[in-house]
A = this chain, B = another copy of it.
Amino acid sequence: MKARVHVSLKSGVLDPQGEAIRHALGTLGFEGVEGVRQGKLIELELAQTDPAAAEAEVKKMCEALLANPVIESYKIEIA
């Protein structure tokens, strides 16, 4: 079973990487880029075959390692 976790910075948290990308795009001549936020996309291949159990397990993984609950939020997709 495949799970995808989208980890992104909570709104209000400064995103230096996003700012660096926005600045670089401007330097390359791309206009009209008002904001850039960069997050992580983690794809997990799991032996678990039950979707509900897989989601619960991935949630624990997020809390334990994949996301920093202080500054990041995450979304889990089970495919």
Interface residues on A, range: 20 to 34
Beta-carbon contact of A65 and B33 below 8 Å: no
CB within 8 Å of B: which A25-62 residues = 25, 28, 30-48, 57, 60-61
Contact B39 A34 (CB under 8 A): no
Decide if A44 touches B36 in the complex (CB within 8 Å): yes
Option from B18, B28, B40, B66 in Cβ contact (under 8 Å) with A39: B40
- A-B pairs with beta carbons under 8 Å apart, 19 shown: A7-B41, A30-B57, A30-B60, A30-B64, A31-B47, A32-B46, A32-B48, A32-B57, A33-B44, A33-B47, A33-B61, A34-B45, A35-B44, A36-B44, A38-B40, A38-B41, A39-B40, A39-B42, A40-B40
